[in-house]
Amino acid sequence: MKRPIHFETDRLILRDWREADWAEFWRVTNTPAVMRWLGGVANTEKRAGAQDRLLSYRSEHGHTFWVVERKEDGALLGFCGLKRSNQAGGPIGAMEVGWRLREDAWGQGYAREAATAALDLAFGRFGAQEVIALTVAGNEASWGLMVRLGMERREDLDFDNAEFDPESGRIIVYSIAREAWQAGRVAARA
Ligand SMILES: CC(C)(COP(=O)(O)OP(=O)(O)OC[C@H]1O[C@@H](n2cnc3c(N)ncnc32)[C@H](O)[C@@H]1OP(=O)(O)O)[C@@H](O)C(=O)NCCC(=O)NCCS
């Protein structure tokens, strides 16, 4: 059994999944707006596949895209966390940060707060040297967050994969190295 994750920020908790979370997670996030750049609203089979993958990341690597819970009222806002990149054609095995929040939680800085915690865990507890993030060009909210986190555009790592955006057929990559993340954290505290 890998060490449990329960990581608190000012407003949020990042934690391991409980069986009871899944129904609520899909209820609040399996909507056309949230799933717009993720292949659209997921059917039962896709949802089951996603759950299995999230649990397998946890058992294989000790990290996954964790539940993001709001402290104030215990609401499940979505997920955010770390996996090993596994998209066909991409940088397989690289430490990857990812996020998905319910629509009524957007625009309040929750994603940034959760992603900052995930990057602290990546470079701290999980010892990463570099963390990447993947999205598609149309998903401005997601790559905007990558930019706000100080991640750099990595055109050299972009790859063809039409799973999320059949129109462009391309996944775009951002990354941040350990030193850059730590320097940014020190500057933010100063
Ligand atoms: C990608 C996603 C997580 C980004 O969420 P987000 O809420 O836009 O991101 P942030 O947490 O950085 O919030 C940013 C906004 O909150 C505002 N904000 C309000 N209060 C804030 C606070 N206390 N701290 C920081 N920002 C705050 C910021 O000004 C910013 O607004 P702006 O974009 O108008 O400038 C969200 O759009 C999402 O879940 N999308 C669907 C799933 C998805 O596509 N996932 C990614 C797949 S690659």
Residue 121 has a pLDDT of: 97
139 Cβ neighbours under 8 A, 6+ residues apart: 36, 37, 165
**1: in domain:** no
Check residue 186 and give its pLDDT: 84
Q: Which atom of ligand 1 is nearest to the CA of 80?
A: 3
142: CATH: 3.40.630.30
Cβ proximity of 120 and 163 under 8 Å: no
Range of the domain at 93: 6-189
pLDDT surpassing 90 at residue 190: no
Label residue 3 by pLDDT band (50, 70, 90).
confident
Q: Which residues line ligand 1 (CB under 6 A)?
A: 34, 37-38, 99-101, 106-112, 135, 139, 141-142, 145, 148
Does 91 reside within a domain?
A: yes
Residue range 108-159, pLDDT digits in tens: 999 999 999 999 999 999 999 999 999 999 999 999 999 999 999 999 999 9
Q: How far is the CA of 99 from the centre of ligand 1 (A)?
A: 10
C-alpha 135 to ligand 1 mean position (Å): 14
SS3 content of the chain, % helix, strand, coil (to 5): 35, 25, 40
> Is residue 15 assigned to a domain?
yes
What digits encode the pLDDT tens for the residues 166-179? 889 999 999 999 99
Which residues have C-beta within 8 Å of that of residue 84, sequence separation ≥ 6?
57, 60, 61, 92, 93, 94, 95, 96
> Ligand 1, closest atom to CA 136?
48
Task: Give this prediction's pTM.
Answer: 0.96
How many independent structural domains does the chain possess?
Answer: 1
**Residue 54 falls within a domain, yes or no?**
yes
